Copies of this chain bind each other. A is one copy, B any other.
Amino acid sequence: MIAELMQARQGSHAYEVRVGDGVPDAAAALAREWESVALVSCARVLRTPFGKRVRAALARAGTCKLVHVLPDGEKGKTLAEMERAAVRLLKSGATRRSLVVALGGGAVTDAAGFLAATYMRGVSWAAVPTTLLAMVDAALGGKTAVNLPLAKNAVGAFHPPVAVLADPVSLRTLPDREVRSGLGEVVKYAALRPELLDRVREAARAGRTDAGLVAACARVKMEIVERDPTERGERKLLNLGHTFGHGVEAAGGFARYTHGESVAVGLAFAFRLARVLGRVDGAAVEALESVLAAARLPARVPAEVARRAARLMGYDKKRTSSGLQWVLPRTLAGGSWAVEWDIPADARAVQESVKEIGRRP
């Protein structure tokens, strides 16, 4: 495959999602359509061969007026960094008709997307995701955000990009931990679409994800987002593993566990909670955890982290006054499962699952 082109649709807004070769040239072609372009990335990505190629391609396009370097990772996702970046956009002459190109992992696409959503009350942006996590999740669907000290993604906006350009070649230079982290979201898609389980398990064992699997995951997300752009219903499915997962991420100070590792633990938690509630049997938990193991992703955390995660998930955006609503699997006839949203769980079942997830020291 050279490149798979898909059309994403959110309400009246449509944009192209491209997965495959040739992203630097595609980014340059896009940049030529805009009167000015600002590249927003981070040092870690700009050092890679792929980062250098995209930057050079944008420079050749002639409209790139600014390269703004966010701090690596979650450190770039703060309101203070948004102020610094917006001031640089302003000084570079960026107008309402400028394009922000976000080049990087999920932290960069989340932050640069939010910058674009709010700079002059909204400018266009394109995502060039460089991690598996960003390709199959963060860069798709138009959710943008920064973190508060207490809670991830607690400040943000819905602001879909004008294009998503994903080149799996960028995954080759990622550190092993980052690749495994990305598999956390890929395993989520397999949990949502069990027919993908074997394919994901194989990719996890091989430690490699090809463009075909990236495109398959992206398609699951895009289809769900198209049917429910503002997360009134079905889109909540994409939060599978994220309620407890965000708690784990916050409990580790957004540093100890990557997002994908946190989601992995959150997926294991969701399946165990579903088992405690009698929704699935032990085989479903085992099937899910075997894929996590193949990807060398954690399914458990130390007991004190699990307890702290349980407390912190109280700050989750998905909370309502009647408590957390869960996204949980339910066994179907034949042994497979379907995932459902807006499922309540009593405190005792949650506590029981927190205990299962927590390792004794």
* A348 sits at the interface (CB 8 A): no
Count residues of chain A with CB under 8 A from any CB of chain B: 37
* A145: B residues at CB distance < 8 A: 121
Interchain CB contact under 8 A, B154 and A122: no
Interchain CB contact under 8 A, A121 and B90: no
Interchain CB contact under 8 A, B143 and A121: yes
The CA-CA distance from A90 to B82 in the complex, in Å, is: 20
Residue numbers of A with Cβ under 8 A of B are: 35-36, 78-80, 82-83, 86-87, 90-91, 93, 95-97, 117-122, 143, 145, 148-151, 154-158, 315, 317, 319-321
The CA-CA distance from A275 to B157 in the complex, in Å, is: 43
Task: Identify the closest chain B residue to A322 (Cβ).
Answer: B35
Cross-chain pairs A/B with CB under 8 angstroms, 14 sampled:
A35-B321, A36-B321, A79-B79, A79-B83, A82-B155, A83-B155, A87-B150, A90-B151, A90-B154, A95-B319, A95-B321, A118-B118, A120-B317, A121-B157
The CA-CA distance from A90 to B158 in the complex, in Å, is: 19
- How many copies are assembled? 2
A79 to chain B minimum Cβ distance, whole angstroms, is 4
Task: Identify the closest chain B residue to A35 (Cβ).
Answer: B321
* A86: B residues at CB distance < 8 A: 148, 154-155
The CA-CA distance from A16 to B79 in the complex, in Å, is: 32
Task: Identify the closest chain B residue to A142 (Cβ).
Answer: B121
Interchain CB contact under 8 A, A149 and B87: yes
A112 to chain B minimum Cβ distance, whole angstroms, is 14
